[in-house]
């Protein structure tokens, strides 16, 4: 029975890691797009300053608000990536521990151990 529990734990861990990687990749793509957009806003701000726009104060406030908003969103997504990684790691460790518990002793008193780390 321990062998099958180890196989099940391994399959669960692969599924967990696959889901984590998919979520992380999606969030990293969003972050990259938002960073690109933010760079464009910085350029707009510099151009407005250089051209001494008549309404620079209003333009700069709007652009700075957009930059600030983007940077806040990027930080939220990075925190979400970190959270997903730590939750995934904890889940996989719990699966390993559950499999180890079932490895302790079978009905005949013999110990069966397979480590799938």
Which pLDDT value is given to residue 4?
A: 72
Confidence (pLDDT) at 103? 62
The pLDDT of residue 97 is: 83
Secondary structure (DSSP) of 21-89? HHHHHHHHHHHHHHHHHHHHHHHHHHHHHHTT-TTHHHHHHHHHHHHHHHHHHHHHHHHHHHHHHHHHH
8-state DSSP, 12 = H
Q: Give me the pLDDT at residue 24, please.
A: 92
Average pLDDT over residues 60-65: 95
- Let me know if 117 is exposed, middle or buried by CB neighbors in 10 A (0-12, 13-18, 19+): exposed
Q: Considering only residues 3 and 117, tell me which one the structure prediction assigns the higher pLDDT.
A: 3
Whole-model pTM: value is: 0.72
Give the chain's mean pLDDT: 84
State what percent of residues in the chain have pLDDT above 70: 83
Task: Report d(CA 66, CA 70) in Å as an integer.
Answer: 6
- Determine phi and psi for 33, rounding to 5 degrees: -65, -40
pLDDT digits (tens, 9 = 90+) for 67-108: 999 999 999 999 999 999 898 888 888 878 877 776 664 444
């Amino acid at each position: 029975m321990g062998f099958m529990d180890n196989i099940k734990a391994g399959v669960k861990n692969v599924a967990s890691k696959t889901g984590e990687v998919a979520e992380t990749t999606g969030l990293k793509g969003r972050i990259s797009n938002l960073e690109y957009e933010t760079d464009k806003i910085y350029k707009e701000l510099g151009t407005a300053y250089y051209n001494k726009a008549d309404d620079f104060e209003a333009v700069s406030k709007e652009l700075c608000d957009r930059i600030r908003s983007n940077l806040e969103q990027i930080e939220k997504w990075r925190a979400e990536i970190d959270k997903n990684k730590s939750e995934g790691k904890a889940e996989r460790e719990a699966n390993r521990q559950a499999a180890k518990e079932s490895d302790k002793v079978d009905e005949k008193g013999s110990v069966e151990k397979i480590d799938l780390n």
